[in-house]
Amino acid sequence: MDSETLVKERSTTMRVLTDPVTTPCGHNFCKTCISTHWDTSTTSRCPVCNQVFSTKPQLKTHLEPHLTASGLRRHQLVEPVENLESRMCPKHSKPLELFCQSDQTRVCLMCSVLEHRSHQLVPLGEDLFEEKKVYLQQMIQKRREKLEEIRESVRFRKEAADRAKAEGVEMFIALMELVRRGLKELMKTMEEQQEAEEREAECLIKELEEEISELMKRSSEVEQLSHSEDHLLQHFCSLKAPPATKDWTEVMVHPSSYEGTVLRMKRLQQFAVDVTLDPLTANLYLVLSDDGKQVYCSDVWKNLPDNPKRFSKYINVLGKQNFSSGRFYFEVQVKGKTDWNLGVVEESINRKGYITVTPKNGLWTVALRDGNVYKACGDPSVILHLKCVPEKVGVFVDYEEGVVSFYDVDAAALIYSFTHCCFTHKLHPYFSPGLNHGGKNSAPLIICPVNQSE
């Protein structure tokens, strides 16, 4: 093996030397490589610096001094490694034996007393790597947990969106059903009105045709008489008093207004007022919501102090607001109930004893009984035959005109009107949710906001 070849191999293998040895001139080689080179050469020469040795040097391995010299025995020996330069401090050319936890980097002993002297330093070793490994695993686990949290949030949001879409579809289906029902009711009302007008016109036409026929008959008889030589006029009925006929001068067929209840209700809704329940008037079996917009009857009697305003005998509660003039309107949801009573009452009504619900006693109300019997409460009461089951009832009062009207809001249909009322006291909105009936009538009466859209 010539010198040039050995130098090339040395440059290639200098990072990891197998059984490394040092020549007297200080250069390192694999023991096998340098020995083979010298055995095949006539002189013992260093392949690097070309120094000639008079006798073949006695080569010794690097480990021998560490095994024999007492001062070197304390050194820690490690297996040969590649990239030895990466384990050396680039600034001090010392082994990187420590780890700086403050800067998260490897340092040498010189670094530990200079740049990193105030930092937290630990020896490089398996414990450090194990600790670092655990730390990294913890970071990975936290991020996996966060990843699962985000995925769970996405799933939750998707489920919430799906529920919202389903509720939206359900709401619009219900709205479409209300529109369909309202349109059907409107068409039926207009058709009935048109049929009534046609019947009225047909009666007038028939009556007119009969009168025309009778008059034409008399005219014919008079014509015959004018050509007759018999002048005994008393025998001719045609010359008697003319038949009784109607004065048609003022008779007209007025076309009905098809404005309908829908537009009438629109006009009424502009008089909407904000009504809240007065807890001081509530019977002790009634439960009111915190916002004063809902009331239902419980099976538990509340032990509260009595006061003059409170209803003692009946399951009633009044609105806080009172009215002594003008017009006002409010709406109440009655959906899901089998019994209820709504309307207005005079402030002076009896609240402690028994009372008959009639206008004479200062109560103008309509009621539902047994789930299907609707009536206007009076003396006597009027049984109401409704085409649709109302889920929301509108109450309109014109104080000066003496009118209290009730409407099916969804169907835009009039339920009943009290007219020619004589109000002498302040009026309060009146609510009675009815007895609970073992939970069958547990749904609350709900005062609803009025939709005043055009």
DSSP structure string for 92-120: T--B--EEETTTTEEE-HHHHHTTTTTS-
Taking residues 36-43, report their average pLDDT. 81
Taking residues 218-239, report their average pLDDT. 64
Tokens at 115, concatenated: 């740049």
- pLDDT attached to residue 134: 82
Distance set, CA 223 to CA 65, 115, 230 (Å): 167, 144, 13
Instruction: Round the average pLDDT of the chain to a whole number and report it.
Output: 82
Task: Note the pLDDT tens digit of each residue in 195-208.
Answer: 777 887 888 888 88
pLDDT band at 14 (very low <50, low <70, confident <90, very high): very low
Tokens at 393, concatenated: 């009832």
Least confident of 50-54, 312-316, 383-387, 412-416: 50-54
Has residue 411 got a pLDDT over 90? no
Cβ-count burial of 7 within 10 angstroms (0-12 exposed, 13-18 middle, 19+ buried)? middle
Task: Note the pLDDT tens digit of each residue in 79-107.
Answer: 666 666 777 888 888 888 888 888 888 88
Has residue 310 got a pLDDT over 70? yes
Least confident of 124-138, 158-172, 232-246: 232-246
Confirm or reject CATH 2.60.120.920 for domain 264-448, answering yes or no: yes
Measured between alpha carbons, how far is 59 from 23 in angstroms, rounded to an integer?
Answer: 7
Measured between alpha carbons, how far is 376 from 276 in angstroms, rounded to an integer?
Answer: 24
Least confident of 136-140, 193-197, 407-411: 193-197
CB atoms within 10 A of CB 12: 9
Superfamily name and number for 84-124: Classic Zinc Finger (3.30.160.60)
Contact call for residues 94 and 88 (beta carbons, < 8 A): yes
- pLDDT attached to residue 239: 53
From the list 274, 226, 271, the residue with the least C-alpha distance to 399 is 271
Q: What is the DSSP string of 33-82?
A: HHHHHHHTSSSEE-TTT-PEESS-----BTHHHHHH-TTTTTSPP----S
Measured between alpha carbons, how far is 433 from 441 in angstroms, rounded to an integer?
Answer: 8
Give the rounded percent of residues in the chain with a pLDDT score beyond 70. 80
Of 334 and 79, which is predicted with more confidence? 334
Taking residues 274-298, report their average pLDDT. 95
Task: Note the pLDDT tens digit of each residue in 344-376.
Answer: 999 999 998 888 899 999 999 999 999 999 999
Cα Rg of the chain, angstroms: 55
CB atoms within 10 A of CB 78: 8
Tokens at 200, concatenated: 């009225």
Contacts for 81-85: CB closer than 8 Å, 24+ residues apart: 81/16, 82/15, 82/16, 83/15, 84/15
From the list 294, 287, 376, the residue with the least C-alpha distance to 335 is 294
- pLDDT attached to residue 127: 61
Superfamily name and number for 3-68: Zinc/RING finger domain, C3HC4 (zinc finger) (3.30.40.10)
Alpha carbon 325 to chain centroid distance?
Answer: 40
Show the beta-strand stretches assigned E in 298-335: 317-318, 327-333
pLDDT band at 126 (very low <50, low <70, confident <90, very high): low
| 424 phi, psi to nearest 5 deg | -125, -5
Of 116 and 423, which is predicted with more confidence? 423
